Structure 1
Amino acid sequence: MTWLRALKETARAGLRIEPRRLEPLVALRGAAGLAVVVGGALALFGPVVAVSSAFGAFQAGIAVYQRSWRPRPLLALASGASLAVSTFVGYLAAGNLALFVAVLALWTFAAGLAWSIGVTVGVIAASNVAIMLITITLPTSVATAAGHAAVIAVGGAVQALLVLLFPVRRWGAQRDALADALAAEADYARRLRHDPVASFDPEPLMVARSAAAVTPRQARRRPAELHGTRGVAERIRPVLASLADPAVGVPEEGPERDRVRELLAAAGEVLDCAAHAIRHGTPVRIPPAARATLRTPDTLALLAGPPRRAVIRLAALLDDVVEEARGEGDDEGPYRDRPPLRRLLPAAVRRVRGELRRGSPVLRHAIRVSAVVCAGYLLGTALPLGHGYWAPMTSVMVMRPDFSQTYARSVARFGGTLIGVGVATAVVQTAHPDVLLSGLLAVVCAFGTYLVMRTGYAATNVGISAYVVFLLGMTGQEAGQTVPDRVLLTLLGGVLAMLAYAVYPAWETPRLRYRLADWLKADGRYAAAVIEHYARPGDPASQEIRTALIAARDARIAWQAALARAVHEPVRSRGLTRAAAEAAEHALAQMGRSAMLMEAHLPEHGAVPVPAARGLAEALRQDTERAAKAVRERRVPSWDRVRAALAAWEEAERGHPVLGSGAELLAEALDELADALGDGAR
């Protein structure tokens, strides 16, 4: 993609408004908390302290909206406390320009490295730097700076208290994640009716898995319908696939196929009903027709072999889903543990240290953003426009570790600032609102910001820009700055961010082969774990298979995210064309699917072992390790050991139609991958 087209695509992405479900009650709660903080600080301490407290409450409200499975009060407290520390440290160094620039560089560098811990931490850290640039101009002494830091922390505490006192859709995020996973499987069942080898995106299942991790205290309070439904849903997907696939299921045409289509449609209805009940906390209502289809005795008489076993298992799993959605499942089972923050600190330190290496995109981002923010601060200070913090504030808010988000957010920031600052400044210069009216207008803008928080950065930034203008208008600091001055400084910050990425990039495109190799290795381990279980059916290998499956899903999602970012980059991939990347992705998806089909019919305890399966599993592990290295080195992988193992067990696998068909599909997927990478190399 050329630079011109890349800029065009990212600009469109930044200005796009996404239709999302609004949450007015959550927005009203955040705005009410802000109003309480501003009104209380204004009555007790005056407008300057009220502005500081308002920034803490506003930032805590934004933190509540971040996608995290941590309790919302904890996010608000952490945001307010970190902003208080940032403000106080910044003020201590603000009297000396050189010292403050050094502190700003260090603080911004740390905020850039925070992206290695997670998106939520990265957003909060970047927001702290942006607001710190404003709040350090308010105090006049160290004592007052400490007081301002304290009221900022109080603002976060007030938002946390309101979340506790007035919860909106308690466990709503977890309900949505689980409902989305069930709805995705319902859609998958319906698609399998028309396309027996349809693909399935595992991301909803992975999100639901992340949402299911709870602390011991949360486990005691969690609604019964959220206990075991996800685990059952995980086991439904391979059964659906094996029932529909002609390789291990029924023929492509005939009465058996017609009956399977009816079963898949009924399964989709049951899963949709369970998803709706879990999302809204209502009773499950299964249509009688769907229940009758799954209970028809003629089905078992019509089907035989693996399809018959799949139907029996599917009906049992759907019953379990309905029972769990009704809250009638086993509440005493184990749960995924979410460690407290104190236990996460060592892991966070290890992640940050792991990014301190040459070539790390997060390290490049940290260096890039710290240099840009310092340059923007110096330029904003030197220009005769006043309040030069608008430039570095823009830079730190729009810059992300990848190209597409940085450029899209720069365009969205400029467009949103142009509208928000223009309207707010026009109101201030025309109506000349007093302190109380300015505070009221700021609260209204905050409500609008919270309301459209998830619809797009451009819409959100309109409210944020107007909020800052009205809030600082309470102290009279912004009275002398015009709309062109603010827009010019915002444009300067956005341009600096764009130039920094062009000069010191961290392209995703050259790393695509490494992502592909990681996915290949993970898929190989998953398939080998499944095949090896046929050689030792008496061993409880479910945990090993489960671990390998999760790793394969993580690698697939990482590849898809990298590919989505690389599509918008103005660079070419050496040795991996777009067509080759798509073909390789399809081959690896088929490889994982073949393993999933074999997993759906794992032999039970006491089944006859298949000794040759152990040799195939070991050959697959060795060949995928070598193939992953070949992919990284731009060579075409070979599958000599796998071919030899397949040839050696042709007699041994007779009597295991699922295992034989799955192995054939696996071999076809490996050949397809070699062909795709060979074409890409050529």
Structure 2
Amino acid sequence: MSWFVALRDTAKAGLTLDRSLTDPRRALRGAVAAGLVVLPTLALFGPGPATSAAMGAFIAGTATFQRSFRPRASLAVAAAIGLGVSTFLGYLAVGVPGAFPVLLAVWAFGAGLAWAVGPTAGVVASTTLAVMLVVVQLPVSAVSALGHGALCALGGAVQALLVLAWPIGSWRAQRDALADVYAALGDYARRLRQDPTAPVDPEPFVVARQAAALTPWQARHRPPELRGLRGIAERIRPALAALADPRVGAPAEGPARDQAREVLAGAAEVLDALAHAIRTGDPFRTPSDSAGLALARPAHGPALRGAPRRAARRIIGLLGRAADRLDQQDRSTVTPAPTGPGLRRPPLLRTVPSALRTVGRQLHPRSAVLQHAVRLSGVVTAAYLAARLLGLHHGYWAPMTATMVMRPDFAQTASRGVARLVGTSVGVLVATGVVQLFHPGPWVLASLAVVCMGGAYLTLRTGYALMTVCVSSYVVLLLGLQPGDPVQTAVERVAMTLLGGAVALGAYALFPTWQTARLPERLAEWLAAVGRYSSAVFTAFGAPGVGQADKAVRAALLDAREARGEMLAALDRAEAEPVHHPAELSRRQVERARTAMGMLGRSSVVMEAHLPAPDSPPVPGALRFAEELRDATAVAAAAVLLGQPVDFAALRETHARLDAELADLPAEEAAEGVEVVRAGARLVMHALAELEKAVRPRAAAAAEESAAEGAVPSTA
């Protein structure tokens, strides 16, 4: 993709507006909290402190709208602490010649590293940097620096208190995450009726697991319908795949396939009803009688036998458990005890050591987070110094623009840069026009700023450009409390926005972090993770009574999901980058490898539905095949990373011995899982053969084709 096309596409993405809005009640709550801070501070202390308090209230309120499953109040408190510290240090450094650029560079570097913890931490850290640049322009003494920092923190504290006093959709994110899992399973069941090998999207399961990790307070207060249903959904997923797959489940044609389609159709209706009940909190309503009969018949009907019969009965039982759990919770007025230990999310204070370790793991030259931190530090400092050299009073808008634009990947940086330029220009011109034409007093300016804050909260989902219009307007209105020429100020701010955006994009062009170059690394990590997952499944069949097979399979599955998510995210970002794919791995090869990896993961999912009980007899040869599979995929992952050919010859020999050994077993000695292991091993080998072809280096493929052409006798 050329630079022109990449910039054109990212510009369109940045200016695209979505019709969806944030919950108006939550936007009103954030604006009310800001008003409760700004207006009294203006009355008691004047415009300068009111500006600091307003910045703290707005940014802390913005933190509560980030996509996070932590309590919103704790996010506001964390943002408030960061804002208070950054403001206090900024006020101290700005009075010492040469100290503020050094502090700016160090703080920007830390804000860049915060992306290692997660997007929410990265966004909040970037906003603290932006606030530091704005509020330190106000004339204050060193003695009052602590007061301004405290006012910033107070704004965030009021946001947190109002979240507790006025709860709105406190568990909405967790409800939606769990409901999305059941809705995705319903869609998956319907697709399996037409395409028995259709893949399942693991993204809802990943998000639901993140939502299920609770702090101690959340664990005590969560709604009862959020207990235990995620684990049931995790077990339904492989059962659906095992029933539909013709190589392990129901045959491709015939009465058994028809009955399997009935089971899938009934399951889809029940799953949709479960999703609706979870999302809305309404009582669970059983679907129509015909769907219920279609779901019940296969348990006693003559068509399904063996593994597909067991899968159908497992689906029916799991759906019944999920429905019973919701029914019991609807009838009960007492919150039931938690099922199992659950997933622990420690309080924010206790996550500091873990966050520091996470950041420490990114301190190596190839880390995208470290490169982003270095780039952000250099860009913000350079923009600040360039604005100071130009002698502009409002030069801080250049580094502030760079701070809010810069992201670890090219697509977001370019799209946000264009949106920031357009939104800031419109916002500055509109707010300056209001100030110039109507000359509002301090109270009117403060009230309009609070209204603009509410508009920013309301348009957070609509698009960055429209939200930036509101943000720029409220900043201009707040700073309008200070003396100055509005027209000249508007011109300087727009010019500094252009400078900051240009410096940010130029820095990314000179010091890029291309996801394209990391595709082989992401593919290798995914291959190794899926290999460990497949190996864990075969180990469960080869040694069912050793250790806790279910937990080992579960842990390996989570690692595979995480690696897959990182691979797909890298692919999406690489699509927007103006660079070609590396010679070792073309776009076509990546897509073929992605398909093969999906086949490999699916084969393990199908087998997972038939995991044996701990007292089941082991399947001969399965343990040996599991060990060889784990080693072979690890070696293959290293080969992909180094651009070398992938060879599964040794694994093929192990599979041939396994298949022959299982085929020779007498019927009376064959364990229940023998047929599943044989079919699953064949699926695994087919997927690895496709992967072997997909990632073959171009040079090797060209040499083989040339050799084949030379071996063909001439007919001339």
**TM-score past 0.5 threshold:** yes
Change (3 A) 1:358 1:140: same
1:434 aligns with 2:441: yes
- TM-aligned CA deviation for residue 273 of structure 1: 1.3
Aligned counterparts of 1:650 and 1:85: Cα–Cα separation in 2: 65
1:601 aligns with 2:631: no
1:650 aligns with 2:662: no
Does the 8 Å CA contact 1:472/1:478 hold for their aligned counterparts?
no
The partner residue of 1:587 within 581, 586, 596 is 596
Does the 8 Å CA contact 1:398/1:410 hold for their aligned counterparts?
yes
Change (3 A) 1:309 1:52: same
- TM-aligned CA deviation for residue 297 of structure 1: 5.9
Greater displacement, 407-416 / 285-294: 285-294
The partner residue of 1:672 within 683, 690, 712 is 690
Q: Which residue of 1 aligns with 2:704?
A: none
Does the 8 Å CA contact 1:610/1:652 hold for their aligned counterparts?
no
The partner residue of 1:358 within 365, 385, 389 is 365
Paired amino acid for 1:440: S
Q: Which residue of 1 aligns with 2:532?
A: 525
The partner residue of 1:660 within 678, 689, 710 is 678
Does the 8 Å CA contact 1:20/1:454 hold for their aligned counterparts?
yes
The partner residue of 2:577 within 548, 569, 592 is 569
Paired amino acid for 1:169: G
Does the 8 Å CA contact 1:416/1:460 hold for their aligned counterparts?
yes
1:636 aligns with 2:637: no
Q: Which residue of 2 aligns with 1:390?
A: 397
Greater displacement, 389-398 / 456-465: 456-465
How big is each residue's C-alpha offset from its partner over 1:121-157, in whole Å with a ceiling of 9 and x where there is no partner? 1111110011111111224112222111111111101
Does the 8 Å CA contact 1:139/1:145 hold for their aligned counterparts?
no
Paired amino acid for 1:296: R
Greater displacement, 283-292 / 636-645: 283-292
Paired amino acid for 2:472: S
Map 1:486-635 to 2 at 5 A: 486-539=493-546, 540-574=548-582, 575-635=584-644
Greater displacement, 373-382 / 227-236: 373-382
Change (3 A) 1:4 1:599: same
How big is each residue's C-alpha offset from its partner over 1:360-419, in whole Å with a ceiling of 9 and x where there is no partner? 211111111111111111122232542111110000111011111111110110111122
Q: Which residue of 1 aligns with 2:95?
A: 95
CA RMSD of aligned residues (A): 1.6
Aligned counterparts of 1:21 and 1:212: Cα–Cα separation in 2: 26
- TM-aligned CA deviation for residue 533 of structure 1: 1.2
Does the 8 Å CA contact 1:300/1:308 hold for their aligned counterparts?
no
Change (3 A) 1:297 1:622: closer
Paired amino acid for 1:646: H
Aligned counterparts of 1:665 and 1:79: Cα–Cα separation in 2: 50
- TM-aligned CA deviation for residue 20 of structure 1: 3.3
Paired amino acid for 2:570: A
How big is each residue's C-alpha offset from its partner over 1:513-553, in whole Å with a ceiling of 9 and x where there is no partner? 01100000001110011011111222331111100000000
Q: Which residue of 1 aligns with 2:423?
A: 416
How big is each residue's C-alpha offset from its partner over 1:485-534, in whole Å with a ceiling of 9 and x where there is no partner? 22111011001000001111111111110110000000111001101111
Aligned counterparts of 1:653 and 1:432: Cα–Cα separation in 2: 88
Secondary structure of 1:295 counterpart:
helix
How big is each residue's C-alpha offset from its partner over 1:239-258, in whole Å with a ceiling of 9 and x where there is no partner? 01111111111122222222
Greater displacement, 645-654 / 430-439: 645-654
How big is each residue's C-alpha offset from its partner over 1:40-84, in whole Å with a ceiling of 9 and x where there is no partner? 111211222111111100001100011112111111111111111
**Unaligned 5+ runs, structure 1:** none
Q: Which residue of 1 aligns with 2:206?
A: 206
How big is each residue's C-alpha offset from its partner over 1:1-32, in whole Å with a ceiling of 9 and x where there is no partner? 11111111111111122343530000000000
Does the 8 Å CA contact 1:228/1:330 hold for their aligned counterparts?
no
Does the 8 Å CA contact 1:225/1:327 hold for their aligned counterparts?
no
How big is each residue's C-alpha offset from its partner over 1:584-627, in whole Å with a ceiling of 9 and x where there is no partner? 00100110100111111112233332120011101101111110
Aligned counterparts of 1:395 and 1:315: Cα–Cα separation in 2: 55
Secondary structure of 2:284 counterpart:
coil
Paired amino acid for 2:624: G
Secondary structure of 2:196 counterpart:
coil
How big is each residue's C-alpha offset from its partner over 1:453-479, in whole Å with a ceiling of 9 and x where there is no partner? 122211211111111111111233563
Aligned counterparts of 1:447 and 1:221: Cα–Cα separation in 2: 29
Map 1:222-371 to 2 at 5 A: 222-289=222-289, 290-296=291-297, 300-326=301-327, 328=329, 331-371=338-378
Does the 8 Å CA contact 1:244/1:250 hold for their aligned counterparts?
yes
How big is each residue's C-alpha offset from its partner over 1:429-472, in whole Å with a ceiling of 9 and x where there is no partner? 11111111111111111111101112221121111111111111
- TM-aligned CA deviation for residue 657 of structure 1: 2.0
Q: Which residue of 1 aligns with 2:714?
A: none
Change (3 A) 1:533 1:332: closer
Aligned counterparts of 1:619 and 1:525: Cα–Cα separation in 2: 11
Greater displacement, 215-224 / 305-314: 215-224
Same amino acid, percent of matched pairs: 51
Paired amino acid for 2:579: V
Paired amino acid for 1:648: R
Paired amino acid for 1:670: L
Aligned counterparts of 1:350 and 1:677: Cα–Cα separation in 2: 34
Aligned counterparts of 2:101 and 2:649: Cα–Cα separation in 1: 59
1:140 aligns with 2:140: yes
Aligned counterparts of 2:484 and 2:325: Cα–Cα separation in 1: 58
Secondary structure of 2:486 counterpart:
coil
Secondary structure of 2:571 counterpart:
helix
Does the 8 Å CA contact 2:67/2:120 hold for their aligned counterparts?
yes
Paired amino acid for 1:666: V
Aligned counterparts of 1:658 and 1:453: Cα–Cα separation in 2: 49
Aligned counterparts of 1:298 and 1:68: Cα–Cα separation in 2: 42
Map 1:148-187 to 2 at 5 A: 148-187=148-187
Change (3 A) 1:177 1:476: farther
Does the 8 Å CA contact 2:298/2:313 hold for their aligned counterparts?
no
**Unaligned 5+ runs, structure 2:** 330-335, 664-669, 702-716
Paired amino acid for 1:408: S
Does the 8 Å CA contact 1:516/1:559 hold for their aligned counterparts?
yes
Does the 8 Å CA contact 1:224/1:327 hold for their aligned counterparts?
no
Aligned counterparts of 1:547 and 1:43: Cα–Cα separation in 2: 57
Q: Which residue of 2 aligns with 1:70?
A: 70
Change (3 A) 1:532 1:332: closer
Does the 8 Å CA contact 1:412/1:458 hold for their aligned counterparts?
yes
Does the 8 Å CA contact 2:41/2:49 hold for their aligned counterparts?
yes
Q: Which residue of 2 aligns with 1:125?
A: 125
Greater displacement, 200-209 / 9-18: 9-18
TM-score by length of 2: 0.93
Aligned counterparts of 1:251 and 1:317: Cα–Cα separation in 2: 23
Greater displacement, 483-492 / 206-215: 483-492
The number of residue pairs the alignment matches comes to 682
Aligned counterparts of 2:143 and 2:490: Cα–Cα separation in 1: 34
Aligned counterparts of 2:239 and 2:57: Cα–Cα separation in 1: 49
Paired amino acid for 1:367: V
- TM-aligned CA deviation for residue 326 of structure 1: 3.8
Q: Which residue of 2 aligns with 1:85?
A: 85
Does the 8 Å CA contact 2:387/2:395 hold for their aligned counterparts?
yes
- TM-aligned CA deviation for residue 330 of structure 1: 6.1
TM-score by length of 1: 0.97
Aligned counterparts of 1:432 and 1:326: Cα–Cα separation in 2: 62
Greater displacement, 287-296 / 554-563: 287-296
Aligned counterparts of 2:230 and 2:66: Cα–Cα separation in 1: 23
Change (3 A) 1:350 1:477: farther
Paired amino acid for 2:595: H
Q: Which residue of 2 aligns with 1:470?
A: 477
Aligned counterparts of 2:325 and 2:677: Cα–Cα separation in 1: 32
